[in-house]
Chain A
Amino acid sequence: MARINSAAELEELRKDILSKRDPDQPWIAVCAGAGCLCLGNDRVISAFEEEIRKQSLEAKVGLRATGCHGFCEKGPIVVIYPEETCYLEVTPEDVPEIIAQTVIEKKVIDRLVYTDPNSGEKATHLSEIPFYRHQTRFLIGNNPKINPKSIDDYLAIGGYSALAKALFEMSPEQVLAEIKKADLRGRGGGGFPAGLKWETARKAPGEEKYVIVNAHEGEPGAFMDRALFTGNPHSVLEGLIIGAYAIGSHQGFIYTRHDTPQLRENIDIALAQAKEYGLLGENILGSGFNFNVEVHLDIGIFVSGESSALMRSIEGKAPEPRPKYIRTSVSGIWEKPSNLNNVETWANVPQIINKGSAWYGSIGTERSKGTKLISLSGKICNTGVVEVPMGTPLREIVYGIGGGIPNGKKLKAVHFGGPMGGSLPESLIDTPLDFDALAKLGAPMGAGAMLVMDEDTCMVDIARYFLDFLTGESCGKCVPCREGIRQMLKIITKITKGKGKEGDIELLEELAGAAREAALCALGRSAPNPFLSTLKYFRDEYEAHIKEKRCPALSCKELSASEGAKKNG
């Protein structure tokens, strides 16, 4: 691979890549996301390889192992282009038939396409399946089209054109102004305007500045960043380089999980390829701008996703947060200005630069712009990674996309934002997906993990579960978090065991108040959220546990021994 030295050379290379590709040539995209991987897609991929070899179709049919397609429920997923025929739950035994019938004869195999469970209607193409039809997939929609290990695939769909535009047609100030105008808000949980953060880092004194991708994604039930970053690493990297240019940083860090080897591999390959092409390193695209990236791994504690803790971890120290009266964008890694954004936030940057802030501003609600990735999990028919415009009613996500609640059960609540988020009852299901609307109701969106619960889920137990999680993940530095959460957990555990007493709720509220006021970081301050929101909307369940020693959902073992026997067998 030759180094690219100008924007014109980049366009030439892109043309060259596209000219070698016949748009009519069939190619097969097999999903290799985490969900499909667990479902044995590796055997499907090798079956395709073997069949293509057997029939000597190597020159005529392309095969790609791609990132997550999103519809994890029906994996392994195979999409055949250019028709975009989508096959679900594919087994290795189906492969010869797919090659013979669909790839060569262009016939659709009926039994492998999506069938609507209610109407019995079939949907052959990816875009016709209700799960996809109700989505707007600007970020994750490219996953099926590219091999994450190939920078050429990313260039073929227009990749790095935003970087060239930023470097050659815009000043750093203009890039910054565009992001501010787009009102891009941080996707990691806080919803803080990215443009303001960038500006603070840019204006902060000091020559050396850092930019960081937070790919920690530690909350249980959140898997959208992994899906995006593993499936399309260059989109995040491109955003990061543009951000570094706007901020005036020459060193970036990617902070990610140690337990997702596939993600690590794709990041490493992406960095190496970008470097070879001259999109990373010294004198990027001949513009004179230098930028390098280092990868750091989180090793299994939730609090290291908190910005100041994450920065300590990059320094090689224990990840303890510090009070943030001075923002990390002024004093972060080694006390240098450090701008941290989440994977999804960075991935939004290239499209804003390419299509403009006015386009971006036209999507979403007044204060929440663009699309949002959601990991949909729990008691829902279609688990998976979903991308919708901000402002989409939750009902649309649960029923339109998610397909409703399985086994004819009733929806009870949706929980947003994992252990630091809150639950909303069924009656509020028409609330729009919006940072402020959800936060106002006590269920802040967080990073976008949406857990759906049916009538069998005990809300007291859910609060207990998240507190249990947080006790293990607290760094232990400040008392309100270390001791407060532990005591809250003790009391709630007693309640779920039928040992609750009058006054427990009030005591819990007092502890929650103290943690909210006095904890050092967001983890401690928002730890009481699940308790407070479940108490707000499901107080009767707490009271039933305490006063009647009864679990209305028949979920708490100790309380439903007799009634539960019928149910749990």
Chain B
Amino acid sequence: MDNDSIDQIINKHQGKASSLIQVLMEIQDKNHWLPREVLEKVSEKLEVPFSRVLRIATFYKTFRLIPKGRHEIHICTGSACHVRGAQRVLDTVQDLTGIKPGETDLDLKFSLETVNCLGCCTLGPVMEIDGKTLGKITPAEIADELKKYD
């Protein structure tokens, strides 16, 4: 990620130290993860100690300090999905991809996360790949679904 686009984001927030979280979020939206050099630049430009930038970046689960795969799988483990069998969906995805929640496979193909509620509890259990929602998914359908991605 180049200096210019970081500057743009920081300028948008008028360089206020209180915008730290917003700035990191927008950078991650663009870059998908937060490399160390970027965090250093943010620290310098917002005049926030690097230790505090790291504290925020590591506190929130949403911030990623390692590269992400090309496709992001989110499995809803909210209460409604839980009682409708989200665990079995998660187990199946873990078996098929070989990764656990929070991990990315070695080919940088899939990243797996669990999320707490996508707000469409009607459709539980719910799985989301690259923002596409798959409702009422059964473990049996998952293998076919994952084959669509490369």
Q: Which listed residue (B21, B115, B122) contacts A73, Cβ 8 A?
A: B122
- Say yes or no: is B59 at the interface (Cβ < 8 Å to chain A): yes
Interface residues of A in 180-238 (CB under 8 A from B): 218-223, 226-227
Given contacts A220-B80, A451-B80, A457-B83, contact A296 B121 (CB under 8 A): no
Given contacts A318-B59, A377-B124, A383-B121, contact A299 B83 (CB under 8 A): no
Separation of A227 and B117 alpha carbons in the complex (Å): 14
Q: Indicate with 1 or 0, residue by residue over B1-38, a CB within 8 angstroms of chain A CB atoms.
A: 00000000000000011111110010000000000000
Contacts of B116 in A (CB 8 A): 218, 220, 302, 469
**Could you tell me if B55 and A318 are in contact, using CB atoms closer than 8 angstroms?**
yes
One of B60-68, B92-100, B104-112, B142-150 at the interface:
B60-68
- Say yes or no: is A316 at the interface (Cβ < 8 Å to chain B): yes
- Say yes or no: is B126 at the interface (Cβ < 8 Å to chain A): yes
Q: Indicate with 1 or 0, residue by residue over A420-457, a CB within 8 angstroms of chain B CB atoms.
A: 00000000000000000000000000000101010001
- Say yes or no: is A72 at the interface (Cβ < 8 Å to chain B): yes
**Could you tell me if B18 and A315 are in contact, using CB atoms closer than 8 angstroms?**
yes
Separation of A28 and B148 alpha carbons in the complex (Å): 35
Cβ of B103 to closest chain A Cβ, rounded Å: 16
Separation of A35 and B120 alpha carbons in the complex (Å): 4
Contacts of B60 in A (CB 8 A): 299-301
Cβ of A338 to closest chain B Cβ, rounded Å: 14
- Say yes or no: is A480 at the interface (Cβ < 8 Å to chain B): no
Separation of A519 and B35 alpha carbons in the complex (Å): 35
- Say yes or no: is A313 at the interface (Cβ < 8 Å to chain B): yes
**Could you tell me if A34 and B120 are in contact, using CB atoms closer than 8 angstroms?**
yes
Most A Cβ at <10 Å: residue of B59, B79, B133: B79
Contacts of A38 in B (CB 8 A): 118, 120, 123, 126, 133, 135
**Could you tell me if A318 and B135 are in contact, using CB atoms closer than 8 angstroms?**
no
Most B Cβ at <10 Å: residue of A37, A299, A383, A475: A299
Please name the residue on chain B nearest to A315 by beta carbon: B18
**Could you tell me if B61 and A223 are in contact, using CB atoms closer than 8 angstroms?**
no
- Say yes or no: is A138 at the interface (Cβ < 8 Å to chain B): no
- Say yes or no: is A369 at the interface (Cβ < 8 Å to chain B): no
Separation of A300 and B102 alpha carbons in the complex (Å): 14
Cβ of A332 to closest chain B Cβ, rounded Å: 14
- Say yes or no: is A384 at the interface (Cβ < 8 Å to chain B): yes
Q: Which listed residue (A258, A315, A319, A418) contacts B62, Cβ 8 A?
A: A258
- Say yes or no: is B71 at the interface (Cβ < 8 Å to chain A): no
- Say yes or no: is A62 at the interface (Cβ < 8 Å to chain B): no
Interface residues of A in 451-477 (CB under 8 A from B): 451, 453, 457, 462, 465-466, 469, 472, 475
**Could you tell me if A75 and B83 are in contact, using CB atoms closer than 8 angstroms?**
no
Contacts of A300 in B (CB 8 A): 60-62
Q: Indicate with 1 or 0, residue by residue over A248-287, a CB within 8 angstroms of chain B CB atoms.
A: 0000000000111000000000000000000000000000
Q: Which listed residue (A226, A296, A315, A472) contacts B119, Cβ 8 A?
A: A226
Contacts of A75 in B (CB 8 A): 122
Separation of A75 and B19 alpha carbons in the complex (Å): 39
Measured CB to CB, the residues of B under 8 A from A are: 16-22, 25, 48, 52, 55-56, 59-63, 77-80, 82-84, 115-124, 126, 133, 135
A: number of interface residues (CB 8 Å): 50
Contacts of B21 in A (CB 8 A): 296-297, 299, 313, 316
**Could you tell me if A72 and B121 are in contact, using CB atoms closer than 8 angstroms?**
yes
**Could you tell me if A219 and B117 are in contact, using CB atoms closer than 8 angstroms?**
yes
Contacts of A130 in B (CB 8 A): none
**Could you tell me if A384 and B62 are in contact, using CB atoms closer than 8 angstroms?**
no
Please name the residue on chain B nearest to A296 by beta carbon: B22
Most B Cβ at <10 Å: residue of A72, A220, A296, A379: A220
Contacts of B59 in A (CB 8 A): 301, 318-319, 475
Cβ of B46 to closest chain A Cβ, rounded Å: 9
**Could you tell me if A223 and B121 are in contact, using CB atoms closer than 8 angstroms?**
yes
Contacts of B17 in A (CB 8 A): 316
Cβ of B9 to closest chain A Cβ, rounded Å: 14
**Could you tell me if A221 and B133 are in contact, using CB atoms closer than 8 angstroms?**
no
Please name the residue on chain B nearest to A262 by beta carbon: B119
**Could you tell me if B122 and A299 are in contact, using CB atoms closer than 8 angstroms?**
no
Contacts of A220 in B (CB 8 A): 77-80, 82, 116-117
Separation of A227 and B121 alpha carbons in the complex (Å): 13
Please name the residue on chain B nearest to A226 by beta carbon: B119
**Could you tell me if B121 and A377 are in contact, using CB atoms closer than 8 angstroms?**
yes
Cβ of B42 to closest chain A Cβ, rounded Å: 12
Most B Cβ at <10 Å: residue of A75, A219, A315, A316: A316
Separation of A258 and B25 alpha carbons in the complex (Å): 9
**Could you tell me if A379 and B83 are in contact, using CB atoms closer than 8 angstroms?**
yes
Separation of A259 and B25 alpha carbons in the complex (Å): 11
Contacts of B16 in A (CB 8 A): 316
